[in-house]
Structure 1
Amino acid sequence: MPGRTSRHRLHHLHRRSLPLAAAVLAVSLLAGSAQADDPAPADATLTADLDALLADPRLANAQTGIEVLDAATGQVLYARQPQALLTPASTLKTVTSAAALDLLGADYRFTTEVRSTGNRYGGTVVGDLVLRGGGDPTLLATDLDDLAAQVAASGVTTVTGRVLADGSRYDSTPLGPGWAWDDEPYSYSPQISGLTVADDPEYLMDTVRVTVAPGAAGEAAKVTLDPAEAPMAFTGKVTTGAAGSGSSVDVERRRGSNELALSGSIAAGAAPVTSWVTVEDPSTYAGKVFAGALARHGVSVVRGVQAASGAEVSQPLVSHRSQTLAQVIVPMLKLSNNGMAEHLTKEIGKVRGGRGDWATGVAQVQGFLKANGLSTPAGRQVDGSGLSRYDLTTPAKMAGLLELAQDKPWFNAWYEALPVAGNPTRLVGGTLAARMRGTAAENNVHAKSGSMGGVDNLVGYATAPDGRRLVFAVLINDYAGTSPRPVLDAIAVRLATGPATGTAAGTAATQQKARSLTVPAQDGYTGTRWEDCEAVSHC
């Protein structure tokens, strides 16, 4: 935005090629007015209103950091502990997506290939088919079916060898640093591989949909898998109870295996209960789904599915290209998809650093921040989604990222990919679809939420009544008991509403707004726990 200078980013002075004297003057002015941790407010009315909201008892003993900026000038309008190192949770996806757009490009695409290792004689491939993953975080079972159809259309009817599932584009570490072991079965904590598959349009990769439907009263319930090729084994059972008896279905994946332990009951005549469960070894899982698709299209694979070494010599046969990165970030940000964020992190590492692992990807992301004047304070980042509790950042750094993004050629795509408060359309409102409805924030605030046990955050943009765009970052950590989410939402609403007449009136109005906003209830999803449900946007 022309004319913007920022206390966060002295690099703007150089990038805009200001005369040296002007640059020196700007630096001296900044140095001469060094901010304390809680700088003097620029908006007394806003300060009174936000101070009133932050006096809410739900924040007692919690750690709260906030920064609000005028997006056009970078002026700090409000701050409280802006340099505090706090857990970002899923708001870290703003960093990952911005870095991916900058380092890979908005038009970047992922390519999945089917290759052959042997010679072809008529309709017979004497050798193996290699399903080579290109890191596509949006690869669906239907895409594998399309690849299988292409193989069949090329005239292949028989493969004398195997389907080799190749996920070697990324390293062999499937779970991120600091991820909780008891999260592993849940769809928000998928294993990461260069080859993975999702069975639903929201791209819950490396998961199988388990549906439990009632039978006749007294009989075992019916359990189905989608995709059917998922390599799951069952122990236990779910019984069918009398009509109206209620349901208590539990589907638990045993750690380190694809064994699903079934228990509980479901009432006769009740609606089916659906859970999404992660699968061990996502590459081989994808290979099995592909082999099933080949069979449906009349292609026989003699020796089944195995993992590839990644060193096979092969020739290209058919391929599938993903949507552009600008399109990929829409479900990633709207629905807070953890797996997609981790794929972007490892892909950045592979393309820009030569290695598809977390350490290389994160180093490249940190390089992006440093190049844009956001290297201090150092903080800590170990993954791309914010699922790890090792991650630490500051409200000031998050606000600085939101501010600098406005100058980037990819900004409009990124801004539109953020969830929009109160908008009920799933791929518009996303995780904010049920929040701030009926307020000035509805269809106004574009923001990324982030939550886990004891953590609730919101960072984004609000347009004030006078047309100014405001940047805000609110991070609340270490709360216990009642959720402080209504306070988060009330802050965003206050920014979108502007001040009431008079400071006292404004304070009373903002306090009443915080009391009136409530935490949205879950929508019946059974595959996760409350504190992490936002990760799959089922809260």
Structure 2
Amino acid sequence: MSLSRRALLATGLSSFATGLVAAPLQSSMRPIARVVPEDAVAQHIARSGLSGQVAFVAADINTGEIVENIAPDLPQPPASVTKAFTALYGLETLGVDYQFETRIIAAGRVENGILEGDLILAGGGDPNLVTDDLAALAQSLKETGLREVKGDFLVWDGALTNLDEIDAEQEDYLGYNPTVTGLNLNFNRVHFEWKRAGERFETTMDARSENYRPAVSIARMQIVDRASPVFTYRDLGEIDAWTVARSALNNAGSRWLPVRHPALYCGEVFATFARSHGIVLQPPKEVADLPDGPVLATHRGVPMTNLMQGMLRYSTNLTAEATGLKSTAHAVRQNRGLRTSALGMARWAADRAPGTAPAFVDHSGLGDASRVTAGDMVRFLLADNVRPTLHPIMRVIPLVDADRNAIANDRALIRAKTGTLNFVSSLAGYMRTSSGRDLAFAYFASDLEARDVGKQHGSENPPGSRSWNTRARRLQQQILQHWALRAS
């Protein structure tokens, strides 16, 4: 990924026993011949060595008939496949042309380039705001003729409900589990970089993006002598205080860490750019209520269709949560908490695709308590006017062999959303087979027992998780190839 918006993600085979005979879906989709254990897909599952449970459904888009299915009514964590729901939720609720806005507001009179009052950086919830955008916003402010601010510099993040993190069960240092507010920057991550200099290390914490890398003081790092943990975090009120184990550092490297005070982070970076234009601002202060005043400058994010396409491609959790929270707030005319907002999206999905009953705890799929069945996922994908919206913005999924080499084919095409957590693997979307048949499909695999054990390990990659997910992705590919290259 570049440093632009793209950067800124022990049961045995007996667990499958109840799933190897297909169960009919209770919907308008018409089940055909049931899957028997000798079926090719069941053989792939049996040979995979994958613990836990596997469920999948493939259905003909034009007729609704089920091509194949195993355990279609088994609820499983959808992981980032949740973002397919979120994308349609945002597009239909906010509109395809909707743009998040970040504004500079003057609370007072501007005369002869001097503001006799406060300057406010007001977030609109834009999840994809990056440092380059703040540089452009500061340039726009300069072009208004403003030279001096007599009052305070305020930051406002009340456009969305503030969340300390998406999933409280995840480790503090994971950049893909950020704080969510109405004023976000660089996906609410700070860039930590280190370099050995003799017997010591030089470190930097900055808000880098494609063209700039301003240093920040709101996030601070201390290197300490210990074996573990690698990172610790403390919230010092308006400062993110990190420590890192010296033993974990090689000669040079970097890592993105979450920012827990995004509004102040955003304010500090904006003030840096304003100062470069001769506009000296006081240190940023958070304000609960947005003061009235004229808008001096505005940054508009990309239209919702482009935003959702990027989210589906790069699976950015902050984009999903901000979009979901904003969509629910728009629908009910009031900000809601994450669980309530996710429940609103689940109700919307059930109305959008009658017969489905998804259960969401967030809009990104980061929380593993969400549940969707493969059957409900396919019903959603087959619902009226869903495919014309989602198919064009979904990522193309290549067919690959066991060594991850592309399999040459000029007819089969897959567009889908992937999902991955430790011991959870999912994929759902649309496929044109080599024979020209159009399918909607969903594949969910999980070993929740192993995941629960892994959580106690306190590691980003608990023992066994990487090998499990590798086997799950390989099985996923085998099933895709079975459908894409062989399905009639």
The TM-score bracket by the shorter chain reads 0.7 to 0.9
Once structures 1 and 2 are overlaid, which stretch shifts more, 145-154 or 252-261?
252-261
State the Cα distance separating 1:35 from its structure 2 match. 4.8
Aligned partners of 1:436 and 1:460: how far apart in 2? 22
Aligned partners of 1:51 and 1:478: how far apart in 2? 18
Q: State how many pairs are aligned.
A: 435
* Cα distance per residue 1:269-321 (max 9 Å; x no partner): x5x311000111111211111111111121111x3210012242222111111
Change (3 A) 1:387 1:182: closer
* Cα distance per residue 1:63-116 (max 9 Å; x no partner): 221111011111111111111111111111111111111222211111111001
Which of 272, 287, 290 aligns to 2:267? It is: 287
Who is 1:449 aligned against?
418
Which of 421, 427, 432 aligns to 1:463? It is: 432
- 8 Å CA contact retained: 1:46, 1:499: no
Aligned partners of 1:74 and 1:364: how far apart in 2? 27
State the Cα distance separating 1:39 from its structure 2 match. 8.7
State the Cα distance separating 1:477 from its structure 2 match. 1.3
State the Cα distance separating 1:436 from its structure 2 match. 6.5
State the Cα distance separating 1:399 from its structure 2 match. 0.9
Q: 2:211 aligned with 1:220, yes or no?
A: no
Change (3 A) 1:388 1:138: same
Who is 2:289 aligned against?
310
Which of 231, 256, 259 aligns to 2:218? It is: 231
Aligned partners of 1:448 and 1:182: how far apart in 2? 22
* Cα distance per residue 1:469-489 (max 9 Å; x no partner): 111111111165442221011
State the Cα distance separating 1:41 from its structure 2 match. 3.9
Alignment of 1:378-527 (within 5 A): 378-404=357-383, 407-408=385-386, 411-412=387-388, 414-422=390-398, 437-438=406-407, 440=409, 444-478=413-447, 480=450, 481=464, 482-483=467-468, 484-498=472-486
TM-score calculated relative to the size of structure 2 = 0.81
Which of 309, 318, 321 aligns to 1:342? It is: 321
Who is 1:90 aligned against?
80
Aligned partners of 2:233 and 2:361: how far apart in 1? 26
State the Cα distance separating 1:263 from its structure 2 match. 2.8
Aligned partners of 1:46 and 1:404: how far apart in 2? 30
Aligned partners of 2:440 and 2:37: how far apart in 1? 14
State the Cα distance separating 1:438 from its structure 2 match. 2.2
Q: Secondary structure at the match of 1:156?
A: coil
> Which amino acid is the alignment partner of residue 208 of structure 1?
V
- 8 Å CA contact retained: 1:436, 1:493: no
Aligned partners of 2:174 and 2:339: how far apart in 1? 24
Structure number with bigger Rg: 1
Q: 2:49 aligned with 1:58, yes or no?
A: yes
Unaligned runs of 5+ in 1: 1-32, 199-204, 240-247, 425-431, 501-539
- 8 Å CA contact retained: 2:205, 2:221: no
Which of 35, 40, 52 aligns to 1:49? It is: 40
Once structures 1 and 2 are overlaid, which stretch shifts more, 391-400 or 351-360?
351-360
State the Cα distance separating 1:367 from its structure 2 match. 3.7
Change (3 A) 1:367 1:266: closer
Who is 1:192 aligned against?
180
State the Cα distance separating 1:142 from its structure 2 match. 1.0
Q: Secondary structure at the match of 2:191?
A: strand
Who is 2:11 aligned against?
none
> Which amino acid is the alignment partner of residue 256 of structure 2?
W
Q: Secondary structure at the match of 2:235?
A: coil
State the Cα distance separating 1:165 from its structure 2 match. 0.9
Who is 2:307 aligned against?
328
* Cα distance per residue 1:313-361 (max 9 Å; x no partner): 2221111111111100122111111110001111101211112332453
Aligned partners of 1:238 and 1:150: how far apart in 2? 46
Who is 1:361 aligned against?
341
Q: 2:122 aligned with 1:143, yes or no?
A: no
Which of 139, 163, 174 aligns to 1:173? It is: 163
Aligned partners of 1:96 and 1:441: how far apart in 2? 31
- 8 Å CA contact retained: 1:342, 1:383: yes
Which of 255, 261, 264 aligns to 1:275? It is: 255
Which of 353, 358, 363 aligns to 1:373? It is: 353
RMSD: 3.2
Aligned partners of 1:234 and 1:456: how far apart in 2? 34
TM-score calculated relative to the size of structure 1 = 0.74
Which of 180, 183, 191 aligns to 1:209? It is: 191
Aligned partners of 1:213 and 1:91: how far apart in 2? 38
Change (3 A) 1:442 1:349: same
State the identity as a percent.
Answer: 23
Q: Secondary structure at the match of 2:39?
A: helix
* Cα distance per residue 1:379-438 (max 9 Å; x no partner): 421210011122111111111122226x24xx45532332222399xxxxxxx9x95722
Aligned partners of 2:342 and 2:405: how far apart in 1? 33
Aligned partners of 1:83 and 1:134: how far apart in 2? 39
- 8 Å CA contact retained: 1:130, 1:166: yes
State the Cα distance separating 1:128 from its structure 2 match. 1.0
Aligned partners of 1:251 and 1:54: how far apart in 2? 37
- 8 Å CA contact retained: 1:221, 1:266: no
> Which amino acid is the alignment partner of residue 172 of structure 2?
E
- 8 Å CA contact retained: 2:57, 2:374: yes
Aligned partners of 1:435 and 1:352: how far apart in 2? 43
State the Cα distance separating 1:236 from its structure 2 match. 2.3
Q: Secondary structure at the match of 2:105?
A: strand
